[in-house]
Amino acid sequence: MMRITMSNKMRSIRLQLDRIADDVKKFNFLLPPVSSIEQANNERGRETYIGARDDVQMVGREKEKKHILKLFQNNGDRESSIIAIVGLGGMGKTTIAKFVYTLKESNEFHFDLKAWVYVSMDFKLEKVIADIISELDGRIIPVKDVTLQHLKSQLENILYGKVYLIVLDDLWEESKHTMKELVDMLQSGKKGSKIVVTTRSENVASTLFDVGSSHFHLVEQIKLEGLSDDECWSIMKPHNLGDDQIIDFVDIGKKLQNYAMEYL
């Protein structure tokens, strides 16, 4: 009886959502613009999210995680490299990067310095370099008051002789000239340093590899595909109920999963 009631409720909710979606298209409703302050706060929140977390727990992507961690091993005997994680929005690019960045085992790979920078579509080289410096040594640099050459000098001094791990999250910039400037500023690190990039665009990854080939080892792009049905169900299923209670919700949960996949 409970299953029937829940199924009817889900069907009712689905119909309501469909009607709302139709109304949005029919009347051309627009979402209110996000203020520059709200946007800055949102981006800053994502940018600083890593420092407040310990190990990130995630379901699936075992193959990709093991591959990246293998690339981290034996840094002293390997070339510095650029590792690009490529996939559509919501595929788990940032989560994988967070996992390997915060994993306690990553400290065993002898990274002297680590930095996480959220880049976004609004790419400004000076801001990216200033944010890297801020992550590495804690200094806040007003971008409008310094030149790119000054930032380059500061970053080179910090990275010189150090094995670093730098994550550039959500990179969109495809300009070869701009990407070459960025890569040139990151070549001062010691052998074994790693740059991990998350991006939705294979062109971004290809551009980075093209301009970085003279300084960095080229690693094949890690392209994320959809999760398997079992992995999706591992995310959907309730974890706070006993086995006897879970049985009653399995059918409903799998129906929800199939419904969600139809709309993704």
- Decide if 21 is inside a domain: no
H or E segment to which residue 55 belongs: none
CB 100 within 8 A of CB 106: yes
The pLDDT, as a whole number, for residue 224 is 86
253 in the same domain as 217: no
Residue-wise pLDDT tens digits, 64-94: 888 888 888 755 456 788 999 999 888 889 9
pLDDT above 50: residue 118: yes
- Decide if 66 is inside a domain: yes
Give backbone dihedrals phi and psi of 120, rounded to 5 degrees, phi first.
80, 180
169 in the same domain as 69: yes
Alpha-carbon distance of 56 to 53, in angstroms, equals 7
Residue 213's closest CA among 205, 223, 201? 205
Comparing 64 with 1, which gets the higher pLDDT? 64
- Decide if 83 is inside a domain: yes
233 in the same domain as 203: no
Residue-wise pLDDT tens digits, 227-255: 665 655 565 555 555 555 555 555 655 56
196 in the same domain as 146: yes
- Decide if 138 is inside a domain: yes
- Decide if 55 is inside a domain: yes
Comparing 242 with 141, which gets the higher pLDDT? 141
The pLDDT, as a whole number, for residue 138 is 84
74 in the same domain as 195: yes
- Decide if 73 is inside a domain: yes
CATH number of the structural domain spanning residue 105: 3.40.50.300
CB 115 within 8 A of CB 136: yes
Q: Which domain holds residue 87?
A: 43-223
